[in-house]
Amino acid sequence: MLKELRIDGAQREDRDSGPPRWVLGLLAGVAVLALAGGGAWWLHGASRPVAVQTVTARANGQGPSADAVLQATGYVTARRMATVSAQITGTLTEVLIDEGFKVRKGQVLARLDDTGLKAGLAAAEAQVRSAEANVAQLRAQLAQAQADSRRQTELAASGMTTHQAQELAATSVKTVGAQLEAALRQIDAVQAQARQARVNFDYATVRAPFDGVVTARAAQVGEIISPLSAGGGFTRTGVGTIVDMESLEVNVDVNEAYIAQVKPDMPCEAVLDAYPDWKIPAHVLAVIPSADRGKATVKVRVALEHKDDRLVPDMGVRVSFLAAKPKVEAKPVPGVLVPPEAVVIDREALDKSWNVVYVVADGKAQKRNVQLSNLEGGKFKLVTEGLKAGETVIVAPPAELKEGSNVMSKE
């Protein structure tokens, strides 16, 4: 049995002729790892971000004026704004306005409960009618007394009556005349009371004091309103707020170091934050003679020369103070402005050579075919198609930049 366990020489040579299998497997694994590492290194090198310089494309005519002396920011304000209330305390029975409603001067905004006021007005008018009837009666009595006095005078002249009767007739005329005068004064008094009652009755109707737009509705039907705050805070002091849109202007804070450059009637240009493409001609109304020590600024009132429905109070606005009034120019050509270095020629196009720009989207470069206007000039090129305002454009694209390349904006 020991002989059977002995290893033959030929078999020993076959076993020693090559490396063990585990060594071969180890070498194969190392080779795979090396290939994977090389591929990852190649991919990392290929996806390495390209450092580029970028700029934001802006709409034509959106930039500040070239002759701006300085700029300041502020807000749109209304010079005439009123919180409308009733002049008496009462319960609202009708509210006819809501936010955004345009109203005219004298238009009815709300009504209060007028039951008691209507009864008071009716009583005052009845007193006026009673006083008028009393005056009519006294006038008739005065006419009769005057006629009796004349007859007594004629009879006394002919000796047919006594002088006492004549004197009594004359006294009766004076008495009725005095009563009539008192009745006339009573009519004046009751008519004044009637006018007061009518005024109080009219106070139950709330009307617009001027033309404007309702910006807030402060009360509802059933609530009590009063010109004075009462009721522990449960009484409304107003029905709503009205703003005269024709009185809108701009208040800006100018640094006190530059306030000497601002003069009354100085031409300006206002641009709303909500409408950056709309340049509003304006001029300085007044420089308020008071400084804010906390902000080191001086408030300046600026009048807007063009107004429409886009203007609302408390809008943010940027004002450029101009050295001279800008000339009236034609409407700018639609398009966006970019630096000339951002536009390159795509020589690889098969059909024709295209003007292209590279924009940055999600950290990658995208190539855009664009069309240029024949009217461009100055420091920028006007792109009419292929690009939108606000997009990030690469200036002077490097040679290694390709479609889809990762980009990194450099300072």
Burial of 22-36, coded b for 16+ CB within 10 Å and e otherwise, reads eeeeeeeeeeeeeee
Residues in Cβ contact with 384 at an 8 Å cutoff, skipping those fewer than 6 apart: 333, 334, 335, 371, 372, 373
Q: Provide the pLDDT for residue 348.
A: 65
Residue 292, C-beta contacts closer than 8 angstroms, at least 6 positions apart: 253, 298, 299
Cα angle value 366/371/375 (rounded, 5°) = 135
Q: What pLDDT was estimated at residue 1?
A: 45
CA gap 193, 385 in Å, rounded = 77
Burial class, 159, CB count within 10 angstroms (exposed 0-12 / middle 13-18 / buried 19+): exposed
pLDDT value, residue 319: 93
Burial class (CB in 10 A: 0-12, 13-18, 19+), 278: middle
What's the confidence (pLDDT) of residue 13?
47
Looking at domain 68-79+244-322, its CATH superfamily turns out to be Efflux pump adaptor protein, beta barrel domain (2.40.30.170)
Tokens in use for 73? 């920011």
Nearest of 264, 369, 386, 384 to residue 336 by alpha carbon: 384
Region at 67 (left for phi over 0; alpha for psi -120 to 50; beta for the rest): alpha
Q: Is the dihedral of CA 306, 308, 311, 317 positive or negative?
A: negative
For the chain of 411 residues, list the mean pLDDT of each consecutive stretch of 10.
50 51 55 54 56 73 62 93 90 92 94 92 93 92 90 84 86 91 92 93 93 91 80 72 93 92 92 88 93 92 90 92 70 75 73 77 86 67 83 86 81 49
What's the pLDDT at 154? 84
Listed residue (306, 305, 298, 261) closest to 283, CA to CA: 305
pTM above 0.75, yes or no: no
Segments making up each domain of the chain, as ranges: 51-62+333-409, 68-79+244-322, 85-109+209-240, 115-202
Alpha-carbon span 257 to 173, nearest angstrom:
87
Q: What is the CATH number of domain 85-109+209-240?
A: 2.40.50
CA distance 287 to 100: 32
How far apart, in whole angstroms, are the C-alpha atoms of residue 340 and residue 51?
A: 19
51-62+333-409: in CATH 2.40.420.20: yes
